[in-house]
A = this chain, B = another copy of it.
Amino acid sequence: METVKKLPERVIFPRGARIAGVGIANDHFTGTAWLQMLAPDDTTFHCPVGNVTFEPGARNNWHKHPGGQILLVTSGKGYSQEEGGHVQVIREGDVVRVLPGVKHWHGAAPDSWMSHLAVMPNSDRGDATWLEPVTDAEYQAIPYP
């Protein structure tokens, strides 16, 4: 298994601030994650863009976006899953489109950092709804190639 050992400060776009992990109250992630907003949410574009970086093993909770989400993977290797579907392994250069209202989660693989741009169009339809975590037991049960 390929291992990304060192967290990059930037993969083209800056890593940003730590938003989850030890010492940070964040109910939407398991493990450590970083966020750099690249475009704000506003009432003109309705399309915030963020750069999200997950340490190995880190992932977000199940959640839904009323306007959908487009993930553009810029680095490393990770997981993406929609409710009722298999876990997909995602890698640098992959694009994932999650339809509005579809329950899903995404995060790093066990042995690799993963960074993706997250494009959130139609943000005027409302904020993400955050749901239950992907438990350690569930995460560790994912068959890893």
Residues of A bordering B, CB below 8 Å: 10-14, 38-39, 44-47, 49, 67-68, 70, 72, 74-75, 92-93, 95, 97, 99-100, 117, 119, 121-122
Contact = CB atoms under 8 A, between A and B. Distances in A.
Nearest to A68: B45
Contact of A93 (B10, B67, B99, B122): B10
Given A10-B93, A95-B38, A95-B39, A122 B72 contact: no
B72 A117 contact: yes
B12 A74 contact: yes
A122 B47 contact: yes
A97 B40 CA distance: 10
